Amino acid sequence: MFCINLNTTDPFYNLAVEEFLLKNADEEFLILYVNSPSVIIGKHQSVHMEVNTKFITENQIPVIRRISGGGTVFHDYGNLNFSFLRNSESGRQVDFRKYTEPVIDFLKSLGIGASFEGKNDLKVDGLKISGNAEHVHHNRVLHHGTLLFSTSMEMLGNSLRKDKSCYTSRAVASNPASVINLKEKMSFFRDIEEFRSEMIHYFKKNYNLTSYNLSATQMEQADSISNSKYKSWEWNWAYGPEYTFIKSFEIDNIPHFCSLIIKDGIIIESAIEGSYKMKTVFRNLIGRRHMVSDLSEFFRNENILLNEAEIYNFF
């Protein structure tokens, strides 16, 4: 088994490396990496239903869809991501306990009593430190998870949507949980890089891992996947299941009631009760992307002047 320590913090590229090696390599890997601030959603989720659209837009936090299922997670420089790419017997690939046990043992070696709880979480004293997800490709499985070391809890909390009552969908919903940073349980690491180095040392010692560096060709191919897929609107925003958005709000002290149906990221039905001007133009939203930039441009072109906060009534 090989160990890849990715030095880049580019979340688009790091996810692409996972997919490339899963589908194009025969070797088994442990991959470790840290991402810059980003929101990573599960394959079968609807973005606006999971994220605080206003916060991530104003703070330019990218949303990236991964190939595995599960819920939405926030990544930043205080979160260590680990991925196992293993060959496995058909019908026995999905095994969350199997792939989290080595991580639990590593934490135990540091004096941290972590346990596997629920479907795919690792917890310490009942508080979540790790979410995990898996994806099967033929006889290979990708298991990846997070380890909260010193993540900004403020950014994490603000990036994720708390009230989803305006949305209806068959999309997979995240299960909110109280979280904690591992750094609160151990003060002997100065930063996440020391923590990562210790994890690499532990796995090389106990699991006979050998360091592995991607070739120039492999990096180019991963970069191609990053650009064509993980940076695309079609994959990140449009891929999710159809959803309905219904909300009541006021604009210029006039009550409005809005209803939208979105499929493949595109508004396919739109209706509103409210001002005459809004009712007149609202049907023209059909065929447009359900995105802040698109709706801002639409209302501006229709000479409906909404302030920065009012545009988020439609998300």
Is the pLDDT at 93 greater than 80, yes or no? no
DSSP 239: S
Coil/strand/helix, residue 52: coil
> Which residue is it, tokens 């449009």?
238
Whether residue 63 is contained in a domain is answered as yes
Cα distance between residue 268 and residue 266, in whole Å: 6
The CATH number linked to 296 is 3.30.390.50
- Going by DSSP bridges, is the β-strand pair 2-5/243-251 parallel, antiparallel, or unpaired? unpaired
Computed over every residue of the chain, the mean pLDDT equals 96
Domain boundary among 182, 207, 232: 232
28 lies in the same domain as 104? yes
**Cα dihedral value 65, 66, 70, 74, nearest 10:** -70
Whether residue 237 is contained in a domain is answered as no
The CATH number linked to 42 is 3.30.930.10
Domain boundary among 232, 264, 285: 232
Whether residue 212 is contained in a domain is answered as yes
Cα distance between residue 289 and residue 299, in whole Å: 13
214 lies in the same domain as 101? yes
155 lies in the same domain as 273? no
Q: State pLDDT tens for residues 142-158.
A: 999 999 999 999 999 99
154 lies in the same domain as 300? no
| pLDDT band, very low/low/confident/very high, at 90 (cuts 50, 70, 90) | confident
Q: State pLDDT tens for residues 42-74.
A: 999 999 999 999 999 999 999 999 999 999 999
248 lies in the same domain as 118? no
State which amino acid sits at residue 114.
A
Burial class, 242, CB count within 10 angstroms (exposed 0-12 / middle 13-18 / buried 19+): middle
The domain tally of the chain equals: 2
Overall pTM > 0.85 = yes
Element housing 204 (H / E): helix 192-207
Q: State pLDDT tens for residues 205-229.
A: 999 899 999 999 999 999 999 999 9
Give me the pLDDT at residue 241, please.
95
9 lies in the same domain as 134? yes
Give me the pLDDT at residue 89, please.
75
287 lies in the same domain as 191? no
Structural domain of 6: 2-232
Give me the pLDDT at residue 91, please.
67
Whether residue 238 is contained in a domain is answered as no
Query: Both ends of the chain: CA-CA distance in Å?
Result: 45
Whether residue 268 is contained in a domain is answered as yes
- Going by DSSP bridges, is the β-strand pair 243-251/266-273 parallel, antiparallel, or unpaired? unpaired
47 lies in the same domain as 15? yes
